[in-house]
Every structure is written in C-alpha cells, then in structure tokens.
A and B are shown apart, each in its own frame.
Chain A
Amino acid sequence: MTDRSENELMLRIREGEVHLLSTLFERYQVPLFNFFLRLTQDRALSEDFVQDVFMRVLKYRHTYRGDGTFKGWIFNLARNVCMDHFRKNHREIRGIDEQVTAQVPDDSDRMDWIEREQSAEMVRAALAKLSHEYREVLILSRYHDMKYEDIAIMLDCSVAAVKVRVHRAVKALRKYYLALEQEQKTG
C-alpha cells in the first residue's frame, strides 16, 4: 500500500467510512506492536497501546488533514500514547518481559536459533539501557524505515538534528554493548 493510498483511506475514514480502518489496522498492527515492544519490552502493554492508537485514530479522525504521510501521523499518535502512559505511571521499561523471547524450535535449526536469540537478547538489553529519547529515535529510524523528515516533524526538530541524534544513540548503544559483553565475560 502506498503513502498515497493510505492517505486517501484515512481521508475517507475522516469523512465517516470508519469500516475502512480495518485495512489500516491490518497494515499497521505489526509495525506499531513492534514499535511499542521495542520501547517497553512488554507484550501485553504493547498490545494495549496498539488498541489505544486505533481508538485515537477514530477519536481524532476529524483532525487528519492529509498534508503529511499517514505513517508519520499514526506513529505520532503512537508516540503520544506511550508518553501519556509513562507520564501517568512515572516509569519506563519495566524490565525485559520473558514473553518477548520466542518459542525454542525443536528441530535442527536449534543452534542457529540460540545464536540469533543471544544476539537479540543483547540488542534488547542494550536498548533497555538507552534513554527514552535515544531509544525512540533509533527504533523509528532503524526498524520502521521512517523518513528523517517525518521523524523531525514528530520530534519538532531539524532533519540534521535527527540524524545527529541517531548517530549519538548508536554510539551510546555501543557503549552498553561493550559493558554487557564485559559483564558476560566476568560474570
């Protein structure tokens, strides 16, 4: 689905064809879920957040103007859902949710899976240590292929500032990686 067709769908939803939201849900439930999962590392909370985002799409559909991308708009709603929650609950990542780890395969791919899972575990642990500001910009740019222009609008800063922030987030992440590796060696 192109940016344009998503935009057209949302404009029709704004005009009252709310059943069309199912199409956008199909398209965005997984990206949004993963956005929240990487931010919170909590599956149940991430699902609640996705539901909340779509409720807000309905609630604020009248405010959709269609002058940016739909993706930028919905991720902005997602960001607000997350911020509202943390503001109310005064906390960030609860800790790595055991459920985040996928099921262990019982076939010959097991060793590959373990290796991949160890790498993924390192990513989760290092991301969890990043500040919310860095984690968010890294997730949006690395996992969701968001245009820097969209991220800049979302974060209310210049495109260059977003790129610099991404670089600094990677730098901070490397520091945590190295610390975790050190912990593993000594522990």
Chain B
Amino acid sequence: MISERIEALLPDFWEGRLPEREREEVLAWMAANPAAAEEVRALEAVWQGLSAWADERPSPQLETRFNAMLSAYERGLKAQKTTTSPSFWILLKQVWGYKPAWNVGWQLGFATACLVMGLGLGKGFWGRDEVTTHQIAQLQQQVDVLNQKMTISMLEQNSAAERLAGIDRLRMVAKPTDETLQALVHTLAYDPNVNVRLAAADALMPYLKKDANLQTAFAASFKKQDSPVVQSYLIDILAQDRGKDSIRLLEEVREQTAEPMVREQIDTCLNEIK
C-alpha cells in the first residue's frame, strides 16, 4: 500500500528532481516495503516509457493561418481607429498570398470559357457577323450565372482559400441573384474562418443600400459573431450604411457587449452619425 505522502513524492522521484531529504525518505520507504517498491519501479518504467511518443510538428498551414488571423486582427484594430474602412480585399490578398487549390474554380472556369467561346463562335463572334448589344447582354448574363454558381459551389469547399476565391469571383458579377446574396449572408454568419467572414461582409457591402431585407439579414448576423475583428468591421459597415435599422442594431449591440473596445467603437460611430 502506497501512502498519499509517498504518492505525492513519486513523480519528482522518477524525474530525479526530489530534494535529497525527500529522496532518502522514498528510498527508505522502498527498502522497508519491498513489494510496494516493486510496483513503484514498474510505474517508473511506465512514466519513462511515455517519452516514446516524441513531439511532432504541426503542418506549415498552421503558421499561415496564424499569420492571416494576426494580420486581420491588426487590420481590425487600425480600422477601429479610423473612420474610413478600406476594403478588406487588399488585406486578404496579402494574407492569402499563396495560390489556392482551384479545383472547383478550374472546372467552372473552364465551363465559363467554353460558354463564351461557344456563344461567340455560334454568333460569329470571331467571324464577320456583327454581334448585337442584345447578344452581348445575353452572353454577359450567362457568364454571370456561371460565376455565381461557381461562387456558391466554392463557398461549400473545405478549404478557406477556395471559399475566399469563390467570394472574389463575385466581383465579376454585375448583378448577383438573391440566392447568391443569401449564400454570402450565410457565410458571414456561420463560416468558421474569420477571413472568409470578413470577405463575405466586404462583398455584401455594395448591395446593402439597395436591399432592405439584406440589411436586416446582415444586421442579424452581427449577433452571431464571436470575433472582435469581424465585429469591428461590421460596425464600420453598419455605420457607413446609416440606416435606421443599422443604428438601432448598433445601439443594441452596445448594450449587450462586454468588449470595451467594441463599445468604444460604436460610441464613436454613433456620435459621428448623429
């Protein structure tokens, strides 16, 4: 039977860092209790055997993700200090400087190219026939539809880089459909990656003024944000919107949040609006 007193000494005893007096106490106890001493030695072997599982290294992506997160956070802090909120796209392009895996992008991009070429050839785009304005508009519409399908499909990918690339693709779309905008709102509310949520917010910004339902959905997504960086950016966007709903939401968030920086930023924005 090993007493609690001896139990408490054993880990340091096995590590060889027990003070001399206590080490002697353990050795004396072991000498007086040969059966228990045998158990202590067997346990020491288990303790030492744990070193068989040596340290492993995480993948390099961990560092890339960390740098992305830190840059986004620093950017968020700077944005808090200024009234203007420059596009996060610049930031995200720096952050995701490496070439993403464009699996879906390539497939749908190829489909887009085929459509352009097919329509072009069919209408004599590269031939002698002139292309009417109407035909070009039709062509643009088809390309827009494909780009939006590409965006929605890429938003469902596991890789954050692909989801960002999907949002980037929306820049080529003249007029996104409600389905695409809803997919972006969903991404803003639920995507696990901060950078993707920031990009979704940025992509939604141009359409907020024109769509009251979108404003409401955008504002509602604020409450789902746990990242101060995203919160800070959404505050900027809502402040720029200056709509009644946005102001009311900012006031609500101000009351609910425990983050002093968020409260401070909202105060500044509300003062400017008023």
Contact = CB atoms under 8 A, between A and B. Distances in A.
The answer to whether A and B assemble together is yes
Contact of B42 (A54, A119, A124, A174): A174
Interface in B208-230: 227-228
B25 to A, nearest CB: 14
A167 B10 contact: yes
A55 B227 contact: yes
A163 B66 contact: no
A167 B74 CA distance: 45
Provide the main secondary structure of the chain B interface: helix
Given A18-B73, A167-B8, A143 B59 contact: no
Contact of B46 (A38, A51, A174): A174
Contacts, number: 111
A116 B52 contact: yes
Contacts of B57: 30, 33
Contact of A167 (B43, B54, B65, B67): B43
A148 B70 CA distance: 32
Interface string A144-186: 0000000000000000100110111011011001000000000
A34 B55 contact: yes
A120 interface: yes
A102 interface: yes
B62 A47 contact: yes
A129 B227 CA distance: 35
A116 B73 CA distance: 42
Contacts of A50: 58, 62, 66
A19 B70 contact: yes
B127 interface: no
B53 interface: yes
B80 to A, nearest CB: 11
B4 interface: yes
Interface in A74-92: none
Nearest to A22: B70
Nearest to B228: A59
A123 B49 contact: yes
Interface string A8-48: 00000000101101100100011101100110000100110
B50 interface: yes
Contact of B47 (A25, A58, A122, A142): A142
B58 A29 contact: yes
A174 B43 contact: yes
Contact of B69 (A31, A51, A123): A51
A21 B70 contact: yes
B11 interface: yes
Given A33-B56, A174-B43, A25 B8 contact: no
Interface in B54-90: 54-59, 61-63, 65-67, 69-70, 73-74, 77
B53 A29 contact: no
Contacts of B4: 160, 164
B9 interface: yes
A47 B58 contact: yes
A30 B77 contact: no
A62 interface: yes
A102 B56 contact: yes
30 contacts: A29-B58, A29-B63, A30-B55, A31-B55, A33-B56, A33-B62, A34-B56, A37-B56, A46-B58, A51-B65, A51-B66, A55-B69, A55-B194, A55-B227, A58-B70, A59-B228, A119-B52, A123-B49, A123-B52, A123-B53, A163-B8, A167-B2, A167-B10, A170-B11, A171-B43, A173-B46, A174-B42, A174-B43, A174-B46, A177-B49
Given A22-B70, A29-B63, A38-B53, 5 more contacts: A21-B70, A30-B55, A34-B56, A50-B66, A54-B66
Interface of A: 16, 18-19, 21-22, 25, 29-31, 33-34, 37-38, 43, 46-47, 50-51, 54-55, 58-59, 62, 100, 102, 116, 119-120, 122-124, 127, 138, 141-143, 160, 163-164, 166-168, 170-171, 173-174, 177
